[in-house]
Amino acid sequence: MSGATAPAIELDDVSLAFSSGIGASRRTVTAMAHVSFSVAPGETLGLVGESGSGKTTTGSVVLGLQRPDTGTVRFQGAPLARSLRSRAGRMQAVLQHPRWALDPRSTVLSSVLEPLLVHERRTPAVEHRAIAMLEQVGLPASFAARRPHQLSGGQLQRVSVARALVTRPAFIVFDEAVSALDVSVQAQILNLIQDLQAEHGFAALFISHDLAAVRYISHHVAVMRAGEIVEHAPTDVFYDLPSHPYSRQLFQELSS
């Protein structure tokens, strides 16, 4: 399949297990079991499940930060390259706690510039691109000189989004990206992500336990339980009538 028509990301029968404990207590924990899904350019797959279900591990495997034991991960139609540098800027992530992702000693401009400087020199033109990206996520150019402690949680997450998008990636993982924010700020960030996706056409994996946020932002939903995808459906179909008993149980638990 050519890169022009291929999914942005595709997992084919991916499994991954970890060993934990020592001696007689040593055991194998299945993090992913025969996981298959794809995400088309310009679309978002919402991945939901309880804590420990394997969602974050799936995000790490999709980004190439962990190698699966079996199965194949494809990026734009080709097997995912082992070299992180070879795909630097083409895949990005926005995490739950932006304060952990941003160097407290660096200015906002330096943080947004960092992904660009993997392949480019710092020049006035490159700095202008970073400042333009800040403005695109709703932060004035004056914020470029600030440091993380001078920003609110919502502003920090906007910086994280700018940092992820400044290289124009084809695929972004949002791992609990709004769960630490106030409800009103969550809505602002979700709207921002939607607007930027419409403009730039990136594919996204939106990992969350927040069913309302997933419904708002996702085109399709996959439900994960103990490392397995137990249900996968278009968002409207899933929320109208989840078919798997675990999905219905999850609705009850996370909505209570």
Per-residue confidence (pLDDT) for residue 1, from 0 to 100: 46
* Rg value, the chain, Cα: 19
Q: Checking DSSP bridges between strand 220-225 and strand 228-234, what pairing results, if any?
A: antiparallel
Please name the helix (run of DSSP H) or strand (run of DSSP E) that holds residue 160, with its range, or none. Answer: helix 153-165
The list of the chain residues with pLDDT below 50 reads 1-3
User: How is 142-157 classified by DSSP, letter by letter?
Assistant: GGGG--GGGS-HHHHH
CA pseudo-torsion sign 157, 163, 166, 170 = negative
Is residue 28 within 8 A of residue 194, CB to CB? The reply is: no
Return the pLDDT at 102.
Answer: 85
Identify the pLDDT of residue 95.
Answer: 86
- Retrieve residue 178's tokens: 């709004």
- pLDDT (0 to 100) of residue 205: 98
For residue 252, what pLDDT is reported? 77
Pairing of strands 70-75, 78-79: antiparallel
Report pLDDT for 24. 65
Cα–Cα distance list, 255 to 223, 231, 247 (Å): 15, 18, 12
pTM passes above 0.85: yes
Comparing C-alpha atoms, which of 12, 48, 8 is closest to residue 250?
48
Question: Looking at residue 2, what is its pLDDT?
Answer: 43
- What does the block give as tokens for 136? 């695109």
Task: Domain 9-90+173-255: give its CATH superfamily.
Answer: P-loop containing nucleotide triphosphate hydrolases (3.40.50.300)
At residue 16, the pLDDT reads 96
Contact 97, 180 (CB under 8 A): yes
